[in-house]
C-alpha cells in the first residue's frame, strides 16, 4: 500500500506537469503581416486558428480599399471624381465619403475632405510630394484663390454616385485608414478571431483583448518628446487615432509649419493643442475626428464631446501647449500616466 501511495503521488505530480505543458501548448497560434498601403506602414497581428487566413483577407481588403480611395492612382473612383466632377461609386467608397461628410458636418468643417487643393499647395498632398519635391509656403494670394474650392457642402454623395464642384478635389487621407481599421476589425470578427491588433501609424485598432485576456496597451506619443509616451491607454474592442503637429512639418524663414491645415484659413492650425487622440469603436469617426479636434482646440473639442460624445461614443485625450493633458471621463481607468511626468498636468473632465 505504501508503494501504491508513492505511485499515486508520482502520478499526481506527472498529471500536474502534463497540465502545465498543455497550458503552455494551448497558447493560440499567432500570425503577423506587415505591408504598405494608403501611404503608411500597416501591421496586423492575429491569434487563433483562423489567424493566417484573416491576414491574407485583410491585406486584400485594404489594397482593394486603397485602389478605390487613392486620389493619386489613375482610374480610382476618387481620382475619377476629382478629374471629371462625378463618379459612380462602389459601396466602400460611398461609405467612406459619407463618413467623411458626416464628420465635416459634425465639426462645422474643421475636418473637410475637400481641402486637397490647399494641401497640395503646401506640398502635404500625399505620396506624390515625395517624388515631386519638398514642402513649401504658398503665398496668401495663392491660398485666397484656392480656399473657395474648399467646401464640403459642394460635395454630394448618394448610395452609388458622388459629385463635386469644378476645380475641387477630394482627399480621403484623413479618414481612409480609420475605415481600413473598421474593415479589418469586421473581418476578424467574422472569421472568429477574437484577439488581434491592427496598426497603421496614427491609427490602432484593438480587436478583442490580448490572448491572455488583458487589454492591449497603446502608447500616446509625447508631442514634445516623441521618443516617449505621455500616456498609455488600455484598450479592448476600440479604435484610437492621433493627430499631432510633430508628425510632418518643415521650417522656412525661422517659422515651423506643420501639416494639419485649418480648412477655413488654409494655414497650419494653431489652436493651442500639440496633439489630439480620439478613442471610439468607429475607426472612420476616430480618424477624422482627431484632425477636426486639433483644429477646434481644447474648448471646441470638449464642447463637441459634451454635446455628442455620449451619442457617438467617443473620448478624447488632448495635449496642450500649456502642458495640460485633458482626458475625457470615459478614459478614466483606461489611461496610465504619472501626474507631473514630462512636465504635464493631467486633468479628467466630465460632462
Partner 1 sequence: MKSYPAKPTWADGLVAAVFALIALALFFVLWPRQGQALTARVTVDGKEVARLTLAGPSREYTVPGLPYPLTVETENGAVRIKTSGCPTQDCVHQGWTSQAGAQLICLPNRLVVSLEGSGGVDAVLG
Which residues contact partner 1 by CB under 8 A?
1-2, 5-6, 9-10, 13, 16-17, 20-21, 24, 33-36, 39-41, 127, 129-131, 133-135, 197, 199, 201-204, 210, 216-221, 226-229, 232, 240-242, 244, 246-250, 275, 277
Output 244 or 309, the one with its CB closest to partner 1: 244
How many whole angstroms separate alpha carbon 244 and alpha carbon 240?
13
Output 114 or 277, the one with its CB closest to partner 1: 277
Phi first, then psi, for residue 303 (nearest 5°) are -60, -45
Which residues share a beta bridge with 241?
Answer: 203, 278
Question: Measured from the CB of residue 48, what is the shortest distance to partner 1 in angstroms?
Answer: 17
Yes or no: say if 242 and 290 are a contact pair by the CB < 8 Å rule.
yes
Yes or no: say if 114 and 155 are a contact pair by the CB < 8 Å rule.
yes
How many whole angstroms separate alpha carbon 308 and alpha carbon 106?
9
Smallest Cα–Cα separation from 275: which of 232, 302, 243? 243
Question: Measured from the CB of residue 57, what is the shortest distance to partner 1 in angstroms?
Answer: 17
Output 38 or 101, the one with its CB closest to partner 1: 38
Yes or no: say if 246 and 344 are a contact pair by the CB < 8 Å rule.
no
Smallest Cα–Cα separation from 39: which of 170, 130, 113, 147? 130
Question: Measured from the CB of residue 40, what is the shortest distance to partner 1 in angstroms?
Answer: 7
Helix (H, G, I), strand (E, B) or coil at 139: coil
List, in order, residues 6 or more apart from 56 with CB less than 8 Å away: 33
Output 10 or 351, the one with its CB closest to partner 1: 10
Give the torsion sign (CA, 206, 209, 210, 215): positive
Output 44 or 150, the one with its CB closest to partner 1: 44
In the chain, the N- to C-terminal Cα span, in Å, equals: 72
Question: Measured from the CB of residue 301, what is the shortest distance to partner 1 in angstroms?
Answer: 17
Output 90 or 137, the one with its CB closest to partner 1: 137
Output 259 or 298, the one with its CB closest to partner 1: 259
Output 206 or 296, the one with its CB closest to partner 1: 206
Question: Measured from the CB of residue 245, what is the shortest distance to partner 1 in angstroms?
Answer: 11
Yes or no: say if 238 and 279 are a contact pair by the CB < 8 Å rule.
yes
Output 25 or 350, the one with its CB closest to partner 1: 25
**DSSP element (H, E) containing 49:** none
Question: Measured from the CB of residue 17, what is the shortest distance to partner 1 in angstroms?
Answer: 6
Question: Measured from the CB of residue 135, what is the shortest distance to partner 1 in angstroms?
Answer: 7
Yes or no: say if 146 and 122 are a contact pair by the CB < 8 Å rule.
no
Sheet holding 238-244: strands in order across? 30-37, 40-47, 195-200, 203-208, 238-244, 273-280, 314-320, 324-328, 345-349
Question: Measured from the CB of residue 223, what is the shortest distance to partner 1 in angstroms?
Answer: 8
DSSP 56-77: HHHHHHHHHHHHHH-SSSTT-H
Question: Measured from the CB of residue 248, what is the shortest distance to partner 1 in angstroms?
Answer: 5
Amino acid at each position: 500500500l505504501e508503494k501504491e501511495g508513492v505511485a499515486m503521488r508520482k502520478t499526481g505530480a506527472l498529471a500536474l506537469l502534463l497540465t502545465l505543458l498543455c497550458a503552455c501548448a494551448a497558447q493560440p497560434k499567432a500570425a503577423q503581416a506587415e505591408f504598405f498601403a494608403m501611404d503608411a506602414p500597416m501591421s496586423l497581428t492575429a491569434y487563433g486558428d483562423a489567424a493566417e487566413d484573416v491576414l491574407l483577407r485583410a491585406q486584400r481588403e485594404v489594397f482593394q480599399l486603397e485602389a478605390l480611395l487613392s486620389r493619386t492612382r489613375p482610374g480610382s473612383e476618387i481620382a475619377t471624381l476629382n478629374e471629371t466632377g462625378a463618379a459612380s461609386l462602389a459601396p466602400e467608397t460611398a461609405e467612406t465619403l459619407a463618413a467623411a461628410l458626416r464628420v465635416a458636418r459634425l465639426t462645422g468643417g474643421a475636418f473637410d475632405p475637400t481641402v486637397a487643393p490647399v494641401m497640395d499647395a503646401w506640398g502635404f498632398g500625399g505620396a506624390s510630394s515625395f517624388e515631386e519635391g519638398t514642402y513649401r509656403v504658398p503665398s496668401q494670394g495663392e491660398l485666397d484663390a484656392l480656399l473657395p474650392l474648399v467646401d464640403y457642402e459642394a460635395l454630394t454623395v448618394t448610395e452609388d454616385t458622388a459629385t463635386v464642384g469644378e476645380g475641387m478635389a477630394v482627399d480621403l487621407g484623413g479618414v481612409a485608414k480609420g475605415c481600413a481599421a473598421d474593415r479589418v476589425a469586421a473581418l476578424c470578427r467574422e472569421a472568429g478571431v477574437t484577439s488581434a491588433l491592427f496598426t497603421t501609424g496614427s491609427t490602432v485598432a484593438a480587436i478583442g483583448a490580448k490572448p491572455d485576456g488583458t487589454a492591449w496597451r497603446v502608447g500616446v506619443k509625447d508631442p514634445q518628446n516623441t521618443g516617449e509616451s505621455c500616456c498609455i491607454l488600455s484598450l479592448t474592442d476600440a479604435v484610437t487615432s492621433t493627430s499631432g503637429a510633430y508628425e510632418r512639418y518643415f521650417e522656412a524663414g525661422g517659422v515651423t509649419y506643420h501639416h494639419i491645415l485649418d480648412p477655413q484659413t488654409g494655414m497650419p492650425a494653431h489652436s493651442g493643442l500639440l496633439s489630439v487622440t480620439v478613442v471610439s469603436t468607429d475607426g472612420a469617426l476616430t480618424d477624422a475626428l482627431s484632425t477636426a479636434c486639433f483644429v477646434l482646440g481644447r474648448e471646441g473639442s470638449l464642447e463637441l464631446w459634451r454635446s455628442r460624445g455620449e451619442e457617438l461614443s467617443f473620448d478624447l485625450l488632448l495635449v496642450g501647449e500649456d502642458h495640460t493633458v485633458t482626458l475625457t471621463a470615459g478614459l478614466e481607468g483606461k489611461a496610465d500616466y504619472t501626474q507631473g511626468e514630462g512636465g504635464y498636468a493631467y486633468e479628467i473632465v466630465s460632462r
